[in-house]
């Protein structure tokens, strides 16, 4: 996991803001071919507002991964479907924006999100549901130390089809990806 720590020093994680709407929607539009059929991101002002409101209701933490120096948004990470006692769990969603693919920024951003979830959000368990053909996402969660717990047939409806998903998870007591302090 050496390079994850390396790239963590280049990115920051912060909540997505109303002021991000224009750049977020542009990046999502430009990355649509990459994201289909794995994830659907907001594509209109209205869906972006709904997306923001999930964080406000406390059922999700919607965040963007940004370059530390330039501030450019390179990707998004969400902790969705937060369930409190007795589960203390959330479901991770993540996507890179096209110009920034394959540089390690997302492994770094997701590792920051894991630490945020287990410290500031006080969660115990994070899940990632990934289609078996989604090789890049499977590599990412393996790299960060998630364990595969099974396969759920027809688990999530994406673009009108119920799709099988591998069930991956990491819990607070497992070995977590290293993040430099400070």
Contact positions toward ligand COA, by CB under 6 A? 3, 7, 34-35, 38-39, 94-96, 101-107, 128, 130, 134, 136-137, 139-140
Q: Name which of 9 and 119 has its Cβ closer to ligand COA.
A: 9
CA distance 74 to 4: 15
With CB atoms as reference, the residue minimizing the distance to ligand COA is 104
CA distance 93 to 156: 13
Shortest distance, position 107 Cβ to ligand COA, whole Å: 3
Q: Name which of 39 and 121 has its Cβ closer to ligand COA.
A: 39
Q: Name which of 95 and 123 has its Cβ closer to ligand COA.
A: 95
Q: Name which of 34 and 176 has its Cβ closer to ligand COA.
A: 34
Shortest distance, position 70 Cβ to ligand COA, whole Å: 16
Which H helix or E strand runs over 35? helix 32-35
Q: Are 104 and 139 in contact (CB under 8 A)?
A: no
Residue 133: closest CA among 172, 164, 159: 164
Shortest distance, position 86 Cβ to ligand COA, whole Å: 26
- Residue 114, burial from CB neighbour count under 10 angstroms (0-12, 13-18, 19+): buried
């Amino acid at each position: 996991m050496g390079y994850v720590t390396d790239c963590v020093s280049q990115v920051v994680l912060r909540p997505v803001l109303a002021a991000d709407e224009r750049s977020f929607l542009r990046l999502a539009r430009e990355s649509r071919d990459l994201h289909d059929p794995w994830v659907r991101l907001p594509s209109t002002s209205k869906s972006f507002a709904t997306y923001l409101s999930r964080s406000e209701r406390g059922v999700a933490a919607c965040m963007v991964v940004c370059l530390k120096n330039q501030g450019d948004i390179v990707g998004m990470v969400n902790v969705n479907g937060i369930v409190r006692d007795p589960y203390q769990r959330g479901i991770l969603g993540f996507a890179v924006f096209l110009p920034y693919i394959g540089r390690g920024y997302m492994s770094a951003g997701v590792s920051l999100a894991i630490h945020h979830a287990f410290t500031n959000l006080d969660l115990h368990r994070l899940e990632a549901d990934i289609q078996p053909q989604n090789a890049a996402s499977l590599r990412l969660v393996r790299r960060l130390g998630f364990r595969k717990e099974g396969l759920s047939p027809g688990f999530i409806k994406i673009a009108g089809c119920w799709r099988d998903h591998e069930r991956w998870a990491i819990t607070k007591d497992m070995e977590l990806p290293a993040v430099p302090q400070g």
